A and B are shown apart, each in its own frame.
Chain A
Amino acid sequence: MLTASGITAGYHPRRPVITDVDLTVESGATVGLAGPSGSGKSTLARVLSLLHKPFAGSVSIDGTVVGGFRYRAPRQYRTKIGVLFQQPRLSVDPRMTLRQVIAEPSRANGKPDRVDELSGLVALTPDLLARRAHEVSDGQLQRACLARALALRPAYLVCDEMTTMLDASTTAALVAVIRDYQSETGAGVLAISHDTVLLERWADRVEQMRTERMPTG
């Protein structure tokens, strides 16, 4: 179980983006998270992925409270959570080829990289692996990011607007990849999207992000 308890977080202590938010993602489950633009869904996603330190509250993984965030997050916890961001261009080192992007988490953790298996899984054709980010489309880059997120076989996957870059068929294909991965590994998935039709089809249950302050968008 991946749990956020009483999270207050943001970029300015006096104007938190989210206040006292609780959310649980059970193993094997797909939890949808909906809510208007600016309601803090991405901030919560970053806290849950241990990439952003909240002002208050805690994140626990399988019952243990995680002691630190960002570079202070213990590696054994960090590698349990795979993350996919809305904007793949901002989360990929432009100097790397897609092959290096997909191999990077394994390399950093001294594991065999499984690039061919992972890229096949996300339907990235081999011709694309030698290219750098600016030489592929946004959707192709997002598929590489999904392969990267699955590289260390995370127990939880946080997908922040993973599909807004993708056409309907690729969306359906990648959701199917994630479902297969889940049925094989029992991973829990947090699916964040504005697309309520998609969440109703994809998730087991959909949580609504509360808005405390007026959404500025």
Chain B
Amino acid sequence: MVGLTVDSLSVRFTLPDARVAAVSDVSFSLAPGECLALVGESGCGKSVLASALLGFLPGNAEVAGSAMLGPLDLLAASDQVLSQQVRGRQIGLVPQSPAAHLTPVRTARAQLDEALRHLHPAETRPSADEVAKRAGLQPADLDLYPHQLSGGMAQRVATALALAGDPWMIIADEPTTGLDRALVDALVAELRLLVADGRAVLLITHDLAAARRVADRIAVMYAGRLVEVGPAHEVLDSPRHPYARGLVDSLPDRAFTPIRGLPPVLTDLPPGCAFGPRCDRVTAECSDSPQLTVLNGHAVACHNPC
């Protein structure tokens, strides 16, 4: 089976009077049977990274680097190749804000049926009810129109749509949004099943508790760069990057104090470490960009790690 290997992926957006460094020099790999969680401040580039892998970036985006899915470079592939071979079939996406992606005038069932028709020949096509059940929906839920779905139901419809083509890899962008505790537990269990079943899951989430339960590894992103990647419990229990430590400390069951200072301005990043202006461990060396360095399977990009 194939895996995903992302190497030096960068994304820049051109705006009338500025360039946005949304993703910078990101490298990681993801194997079947593995779950990697991607966490980080809102606006740090997580969704843009996901869109880049699926060719969903808008026209003002410029991409560099490579993302190899077996022999295929996703960043160089044409839209036709992506839509016929990759989207839904190899990689299923559960988008962030799913309600904004559903067609308002058609029921959830109509939309799921259409996806199934597109992705499977009639003989082997699973029924909409079966697929919906795996995403935690009742058959009757499928007969609702998008405006009749609660946030949590819309989320599960999106999950069902992502599973429709039986892809080996799932990218789930904030799939726990709007779900209550019981539904988060069910989703966590479903994601774990997918992983145990040999699928790869890239879980983008703000829910660090869910990340701890599902992910094998956690990657922490700041200002478009990966600043820490390591085993899930290590990153959450003893984070080594000052940003990761600040993020964990701001949880409501910890200090509940935000990281000081403003989010980075991606159109005008400081030279050197982007976290410098907010960091309490900053030293003279930090004006040189720290490289992601691996020690015992745990990578950190910081001159003075915790």
Contact = CB atoms under 8 A, between A and B. Distances in A.
B287 interface: no
Main secondary structure of the interface of B (DSSP, over half): loop
A79 B107 CA distance: 35
A37 interface: yes
B262 A197 contact: no
The range of chain A's interface size is 35 or more
A164 interface: yes
Given A166-B42, A172-B252, A216-B138, A87 B99 contact: yes
Interface string B253-288: 100111100110111100000000000000000000
A42 B265 contact: no
Contacts of A123: 262-263
Nearest to B97: A89
Contact of B153 (A38, A88, A169, A171): A38
Given A135-B15, A197-B252, A37 B178 contact: yes
Interface string B170-182: 0000101111111
With most chain B CB atoms within 10 A of its CB, the pick from A37, A161, A216 is A37
Contact of A137 (B43, B99, B140): B43
Contact of A194 (B41, B180, B252): B180
B155 to A, nearest CB: 9
Nearest to B258: A173
A11 B148 contact: yes
Interface stretch (B27-35, B111-119, B122-130, B242-250): B242-250
A139 B204 CA distance: 13
B258 A176 contact: yes
With most chain B CB atoms within 10 A of its CB, the pick from A123, A131, A165 is A165
B100 A217 contact: no
Interface in A142-158: 142-143
B13 to A, nearest CB: 7
B206 A161 contact: no
A27 B73 CA distance: 57
Contacts of A173: 258
Nearest to A160: B151
Contacts of A168: 206, 208, 247-248, 250-252
Contacts of A90: 97, 99-100
Interface string A171-192: 1110110000000000000000
Nearest to B40: A167
Contact of A169 (B96, B151, B176, B250): B250
A148 to B, nearest CB: 17
Given A137-B43, A197-B251, 9 more contacts: A142-B42, A165-B42, A167-B41, A168-B247, A169-B258, A200-B252, A216-B140, A216-B141, A217-B141
Interface of A: 11, 35-38, 42, 86-90, 123, 125, 127, 130-131, 134-140, 142-143, 161, 164-173, 175-176, 194-198, 200-202, 216-217
25 contacts: A87-B97, A87-B151, A89-B97, A89-B100, A90-B100, A123-B263, A127-B265, A127-B267, A130-B17, A135-B13, A137-B47, A139-B43, A140-B43, A164-B177, A167-B41, A167-B42, A169-B258, A170-B258, A170-B263, A171-B250, A172-B257, A194-B184, A195-B252, A197-B253, A217-B152
